Structures are given as C-alpha cells and as structure tokens.
Amino acid sequence: MLTEQQIDQIAAELAEADRTHSMIPRITARFPDATVADSYAIQGRWRDTQIAAGRTLVGRKIGLTSKAMQQATGITEPDYGVMFDDTVYRSGDDIPVEHFSNVRIEVELAFVLKQPLEGPDCTLEDALAAIDYAVPALEVLNSHIDLEGRTIVDTISDNAAYGAMVLGDVHKRPDEIDLRWVPGVLSRNGDIEETGVAAGVLGHPATGVAWLANKFAQHGARLEAGEIILAGSFTRPMWVSRGDSVLCDYGPMGTIECRFV
C-alpha cells in the first residue's frame, strides 16, 4: 500500500500533467507494490482537487467491460473514472488535439439516470428502471502515463484513461429499443476502421451501470439522478490525429460526427 504522502504526490503529478497535457513515468515502475486500491485512492485525491478548483462532476465512465480487454490487462472486472462538465462535447464539434495525450476514440452508449441507483444488490433490471434514456457516445481516451508497460494500476490512477466524450442527438428510453443490438460503425476520414454491437459490453450495455452501483455501495455511495454513465466500448480504440474527421453510425440511434483540430 502507498502512503498518504505518496498518494498526494502522484495525484499532484497527474493534475499537473492534465493541466499541461504532458506525461509522467509509470506509477508501477516507481512503486511496483502499488495496488488497485491505491490507484482508486490516487484517482479520488485527484478528483477532489479538481472539484475544489471549481470543476463540476457530471458522471462516471466505465472501462474494461469486454472479456478481450480484461484479459489484455490482467484484471477480471471493469474499472471506472469520473467525468467533468468541461469534457462534454456534442456531435459536430471541433475537438482540440492539444488538450489530450495519446488520443484514441472508442464507441459507446451513455445513460442518463432519472433516479438514484444504489447497491449492493442492484440488477440489470434495476439499472434499466433507473435510466431515463440512452444516447450514443464516443469516448476520447487520454493518457498522462507512459503507455509502454502500463498496468491497470496506472490506468485507474489516470482517471481510467478518460479524456472527453462526444454525445449524439438521439435519445432512446430502454423500453423503446433493444439496446443490446445497437450497432457502431466507426470511420476515420471516410474509411471504416471499427465495427461492433453494444451486446459486446457485458452482454448488455446497461449491465455496467448495475455493476458500478454495487461497487459504489462498498464505499457507502450511490449513483445520483441526472448523472451520465458512459458504459464501456464495444469496439477497439482507434487512434486519431490533428485533422482527422470521425464519423460513427449507430443505426437507429443516429450518427456522431466530430473533427480533431
């Protein structure tokens, strides 16, 4: 376990890296005994400094929701991070590349809660009942820690690699559409790069919402009404660079377009 001083130190390094859009050395290279619990403590310390500085928390992101990604990282459950209001873009927006490091895109669905959701025994049905609507979303991944040799401890500490999200315009209640079969066809500069369906996220994209409510219950917390939950990718990450135009077709849930400038 890391000391409180070490947690403070790393959280401060990550805050500075976020401010300057720079990178820091791997945490696990410097502190090889750091645990997943340490990584969430670092993330929480960083989150609290951001809120104290005036940023507004609008929701949570869930990652590592596919078996392939879990096997690749050696972790057996998803991870999560926080999302602030100044990281939310809309379809059609230009996104400044210099705000991020190691920029990649993932195809996801986001859920907006109409009522609080609390574990520890939350089910998929409970999550669906608490969801106001689903909306297509792209996640912009952002890494402040060296990618080479990075572990799950590094990723979680770095706010689960969350940078921003781009929200679509089509909203669907869970009873209006079978969310498992929402498609995603992701293109960069007119070329299709990735495809998938939302069932790739834990069998149902809202399963992660229930998982997160149960996870929060272990710490005496709950998900609140109005929060946006970014549910996890059903495609591999796609690298993007300045000048790239991105389009994702979600079939009955419309499209998202954005450009990196």
| Inter-CA distances, 53 with 56, 84, 153, 198, Å | 9, 12, 25, 36
3 state SS for 105-136: EEEEEEEEECCCECCCCCCHHHHHHHEEEEEE
**Do 248 and 185 touch, CB atoms closer than 8 A?**
yes
Chain mean position to CA 174: 21
pLDDT at site 69: 65
Tokens (6 digits) for 81: 């991070």
First to last CA, the chain: 41
CB-CB neighbours of 53 under 10 Å: 9
pLDDT band of residue 209 (cuts 50, 70, 90) is very high
Rounded CA separation 241/259 (Å): 10
Residue 67 has pLDDT above 90, yes or no: no
Mean pLDDT of 217-222: 92
Mean pLDDT of 209-215: 96
Mean pLDDT rounded to a whole number for the chain: 95
Q: What is the pTM of this model?
A: 0.95
pLDDT at site 107: 97
pLDDT tens sequence across 98-115: 999 999 999 999 999 999
Helix, strand, or coil (residue 77): coil
Percent of the chain with pLDDT over 70: 97
Residue 61 has pLDDT above 80, yes or no: yes
Helix 4-20 crosses helix 36-52 at what angle (to 10 degrees)? 60
pLDDT at site 74: 65
The answer to whether the peptide bond before residue 120 is cis (omega within 30 degrees of 0) is yes
**Do 139 and 108 touch, CB atoms closer than 8 A?**
yes
DSSP 63: E
